[in-house]
Amino acid sequence: MQLTQYTDYSLRVLIYLSQKPAQTLATITEISDFYGISRNHLVKVVHSLAINGFLETTRGKNGGIRLAKPAAQIGIGEVVRSTEPNFEMAECFNHQNNTCIITPVCSLKGILSEARNSFIATLDQYTLADTIQKPGSLFRSYMQAINK
Amino acid sequence: MQLTQYTDYSLRVLIYLSQKPAQTLATITEISDFYGISRNHLVKVVHSLAINGFLETTRGKNGGIRLAKPAAQIGIGEVVRSTEPNFEMAECFNHQNNTCIITPVCSLKGILSEARNSFIATLDQYTLADTIQKPGSLFRSYMQAINK
DNA sequence: TTAAAGATGTATTTAATATACATATATATG
DNA sequence: CATATATATGTATATTAAATACATCTTTAA
Ligand code: SF4
Ligand code: SF4
């Protein structure tokens, strides 16, 4: 059981933005350099975060991205729901493609649903504001990493 | 977020065995025919279930497999823990391969751990005996499916 | 001795994900 | 208006994990 890197990258972008001084813009290049990950991949991550209303983008010179609302109003559950391609715990969760012959009598799917729901419910207890405890520590951590 | 088919197949095997009359043996071929899934894949599924103590295998003519203990003593959580290849919700969960620069200051991993734990804790509330509500319905369901 | 069962190791296929590449569009500024 | 710099968008490719197939070995009842 894993989440996609796409989801983690989405959260990394939001975490980064949450630590920037309010109202300042970051660029995708800046963030991909910071984390050392594919800029191309981040472009799509950022685009979907914008479509889902988590951040605002500004094109053109001096453009960039920033959070669309305060970190404390961005739920981790919301973000993960919007980035994960699916939450199909077994074949029968996709009615179109399901070939499992015991579906009509199987209660396992209900158990798996309940487990998935408690996973997401836990995430719903937290917001972006809970991801970094000490203000400023994100960039201090970066400095330490690049100086060694 | 998905579980592997390997995990669902493992549970399907256990569900099937739980509905067989006690002490009778089933064969892998019988089960793969029942579900219409790859026999080769099931061979490995069954082998790992045996290694993990969920079922007993008997080689040779008239051999086969059966549950190693009553269905009510086989926890769904136990099974899933033993069949899923990993529960690494983000890159940093694998310390060897982790390249995430903010790991020292990031609290997201704790949130993701907690969510994963509540997923598994939910599964731990159920056993194999909870997967089929009506005795006999599994095979009746099969008959209906093949007769249409 | 044979048939029928699982055990084991390797190879291949498939599908999902991640990444790269190319080009379009928007906008601030000189 | 031209240019530089930012995001937007679509397509192609690469990588990886998972699923499946194949070949052979071992065990055991009859
Ligand atoms: S019906 Fe039950 S056994 Fe079949 S795919 Fe769904 S959860 Fe698995
Ligand atoms: S440290 Fe935080 S951002 Fe980095 S991989 Fe782990 S959970 Fe994701």
Give pLDDT, residue A147.
Answer: 62
User: From CA A93, how far away is CA A87, in angstroms rounded?
Assistant: 8
Q: Chain A: give the shortest CA distance to residue B31, in Å.
A: 12
Going by C-beta distance under 8 Å and a sequence separation of 6 or more, which residues neighbour residue B48? B10, B82, B83
Phi-psi map region of B32: left, alpha, beta (phi>0 left; psi -120 to 50 alpha): alpha
Percent of chain A with pLDDT over 90: 86
Residues of chain A contacting B108 with CB distance shorter than 8 Å? 11, 15, 76, 131
Tell me the pLDDT of chain B averaged across its residues: 93
| Bases along strand C below 7 A from a protein CB | 3-9, 16-22, 25-29
Residue B142 and residue A1: Cβ atoms within 8 Å? no
User: Among residues of chain B, what percentage have pLDDT more than 90?
Assistant: 86
Q: Which ligand is nearest to the CA of B7?
A: 1
Q: Give the residue carrying structure tokens 């009553």.
A: B70
CB contact under 8 A, B8 and A90: yes
Query: Alpha-carbon distance A15 to B101, whole Å?
Result: 12
CATH number at residue A92: 1.10.10.10
Ligand 2 atom 1 nearest Cα: B103
Tell me how far apart the alpha carbons of residues A37 and B111 are, in angstroms, rounded to a whole number. Answer: 23
Interatomic distance B35 CA / D27 C1' (Å): 27
Residue A79 has pLDDT above 80, yes or no: yes
Ligand 1 pocket mutation, candidates B12, B17, B19, criterion most atoms within 8 A of CB: B12
A85-99, A131-145, B60-74, B134-148: the lowest-pLDDT one: B134-148
Closest amino acid to nucleotide D5 (CA–C1'): A61
Footprint of strand D on the protein (CB under 7 A): A 2, 26-29, 40, 43-44, 46-47, 50, 57-65; B 4-6, 37-38, 40-41, 43-44, 58-63, 85
Index of the ligand 2 atom closest to the CA of residue B112: 7
Greater pLDDT, A4 or B96: A4
| pLDDT tens digits, B41-73 | 999 999 999 999 999 999 999 999 999 999 999
Among the listed ranges A13-27, A96-110, B127-141, which one has the minimum average pLDDT value? Answer: B127-141
Whether B6 contacts chain A with CB within 8 A: no
pLDDT attached to residue B146 = 60
What is the average pLDDT value for chain A, to the nearest integer?
93
Total number of domains in chain A: 1
What's the whole-number mean pLDDT along residues B90-98? 94
Residue A110, Cβ neighbours under 10 Å: how many? Answer: 13
- For residue A146, the model assigns a pLDDT of 60
Domain that holds residue B9: 5-146
Give the model confidence (pLDDT) of A31-64 as tens digits. Answer: 999 999 999 999 999 999 999 999 999 999 999 9
Q: Does B68 touch chain A (CB under 8 A)?
A: no
Distance, CA B98 to ligand 2 centroid (Å)?
9
Predicted local confidence at residue A148, as pLDDT: 46
Q: What is the Cα–Cα distance from B80 to B9, expressed in whole angstroms?
A: 11
